């Protein structure tokens, strides 16, 4: 069901970098943001890239030097060459790529948050295409905008990012592991597989915001502090943030925050008790209880949709029926399982290839 959420994120190519940073500041997580400036991709399945598509490392990694104005998103190059959209996965076909490739004054790729957003955008099609096919699609897109040399640089960086995501998926956190310990392990993995410069560019701000969030959480939970001392320390903690970040935190949409936090809970494999504890620390007990109820309702919805998809696919595979008969049976199935509003939602998701 993650694709349902990803479809919404991809429909907003103009997402604000600040909004994502704000979300990250308030989330307790190892991975942040996946298809919205937010959307961090879930950890990839542990599947090696096809050897035929692998690209050797290109010497020293690109340097994070000051960029010149050569960032080119799909929206900025409308009408110029790009990979044919007919070849794209259905979930990406009607959206503009999020993120961008930025070059320095020497024409080298700058490792940046924008680049990670571009990787995450294409990787959101996992499930429709395998990693090798997504890699080829990404490189065709980059090559059309920037040429073969830049595409080769991007390929090497993408391969390292995929290796990291696959290693992350293979982590089996021990029961009861403290969040700081878990985040430290993810930090070490990032620096080992991506290198320090790439890890900083892709995840540095997020990790600092995570530390800020944890420190704030522990201050709020410290029963030895009186209110004056607690507020004083909270104010000191807030000095880590820029005025823009503090303003952005106040403007962050709570619904997006909760949605992104749920993604990170999934990535960290937190159990219900841990989820409740983290939510109480950030939102309070009453709000945490409402969110737990929302979790239950969402799980029930996803179970209903999953059961419907299985029954629908069985009807589609029934060779005894002709096409018209199958479609009538599927419509009857939909009507039996969902109310009118839910049926419209299901039909919309099917129309864009999300079910």
Residue 263 class from Cβ within 10 Å (0-12 exposed, 13-18 middle, 19+ buried)? Answer: buried
pLDDT in tens, 295-334: 889 889 999 999 999 999 999 999 898 888 888 899 899 9
Mean pLDDT of 327-353: 84
Q: Categorize the per-residue pLDDT at 150 as very low, low, confident or very high, splitting at 50, 70 and 90.
A: very high
pLDDT in tens, 3-47: 343 433 443 333 333 333 433 343 433 333 333 333 333 345 433
DSSP character for 108?
Answer: P
| C-alpha–C-alpha distance, residues 37 and 15, integer Å | 6
Which residue has better confidence, 310 or 263?
310
Mean pLDDT of 69-85: 47
* Residue 254: predicted pLDDT: 66
| C-alpha–C-alpha distance, residues 279 and 287, integer Å | 8
**Helices marked H in the chain:** 2-10, 17-25, 90-93, 113-123, 131-146, 148-170, 179-194, 196-199, 205-221, 227-238, 243-251, 254-268, 272-283, 285-316, 323-337, 340-351
Q: Does residue 271 surpass a pLDDT of 90?
A: no
Q: Categorize the per-residue pLDDT at 112 as very low, low, confident or very high, splitting at 50, 70 and 90.
A: very high
Three-class SS state of 54: coil
| C-alpha–C-alpha distance, residues 194 and 162, integer Å | 10
pTM score of the predicted model: 0.53
Look up tokens 């942040």; give the residue: 32
Total Cβ atoms within 10 A of residue 153 = 21
Look up tokens 């960086």; give the residue: 157
Mean pLDDT of 67-83: 44
Asked if 13 contacts 75 with a C-beta cutoff of 8 angstroms, the reply is yes
Report the chain's mean pLDDT, rounded to a whole number: 76
Q: For 99-133, b where at least 16 C-beta lie within 10 A, e where not — what string?
A: bbbbbbeeebbbbbbbbbbbbbbbbbbbebbebbb
pLDDT in tens, 166-220: 999 888 878 888 888 888 999 999 999 999 999 999 999 888 888 888 898 889 9
DSSP string, 66-101: PB-S--B-TGGGTTS----GGGS-HHHHTSPPPS-B
Residues in the chain: 355
* Residue 217: predicted pLDDT: 87
Q: For 158-190, b where at least 16 C-beta lie within 10 A, e where not — what string?
A: bbbbbebbbbbeeeeeeeeeebeebbeebbebb
Rg (CA), the chain: 22
| C-alpha–C-alpha distance, residues 287 and 282, integer Å | 9
Tokens read off for 17: 């970098």
Total Cβ atoms within 10 A of residue 337 = 16
């Amino acid at each position: 069901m993650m694709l349902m959420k990803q479809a919404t994120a991809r429909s907003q190519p103009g997402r604000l970098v600040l909004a994502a940073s704000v979300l990250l500041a308030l989330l307790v997580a190892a991975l942040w943001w996946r298809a919205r400036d937010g959307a961090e991709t879930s950890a990839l399945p542990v599947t090696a890239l096809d050897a035929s598509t692998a690209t050797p490392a290109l010497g020293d990694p690109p340097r994070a030097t000051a960029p010149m104005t050569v960032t080119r998103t799909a929206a900025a190059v409308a009408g110029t060459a790009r990979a044919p959209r007919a070849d794209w996965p259905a979930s990406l076909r009607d959206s503009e790529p999020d993120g961008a490739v930025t070059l320095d004054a020497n024409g080298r790729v700058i490792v940046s948050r924008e680049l990670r957003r571009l990787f995450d955008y294409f990787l959101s099609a996992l499930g429709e295409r395998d990693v090798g096919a997504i890699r080829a699609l990404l490189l065709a897109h980059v090559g059309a905008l920037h040429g073969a040399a830049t595409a080769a640089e991007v390929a090497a960086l993408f391969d390292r990012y995929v290796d990291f995501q696959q290693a992350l998926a293979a982590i089996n956190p021990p029961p009861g592991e403290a969040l700081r310990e878990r985040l430290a392990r993810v930090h070490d993995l990032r620096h080992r597989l991506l290198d320090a410069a790439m890890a900083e560019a892709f995840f540095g701000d997020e990790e600092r915001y995570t530390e800020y969030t944890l420190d704030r959480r522990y201050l709020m939970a410290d029963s030895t502090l009186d209110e004056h001392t607690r507020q004083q320390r909270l104010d000191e903690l807030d000095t880590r943030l820029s005025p823009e970040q503090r303003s952005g935190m106040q403007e962050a949409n709570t619904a997006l925050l909760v949605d992104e936090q749920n993604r990170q809970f999934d990535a960290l494999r937190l159990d219900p008790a841990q989820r409740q504890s983290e939510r109480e620390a950030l939102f309070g007990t009453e709000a945490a209880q409402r969110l737990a109820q929302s979790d239950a309702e969402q799980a029930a919805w996803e179970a209903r949709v999953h059961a419907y998809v299985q029954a629908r696919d069985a009807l589609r595979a029934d060779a005894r029926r002709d096409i018209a008969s199958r479609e009538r049976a599927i419509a009857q199935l939909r009507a039996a399982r969902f109310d009118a509003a839910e049926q419209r939602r299901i039909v919309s998701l099917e129309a864009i290839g999300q079910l």
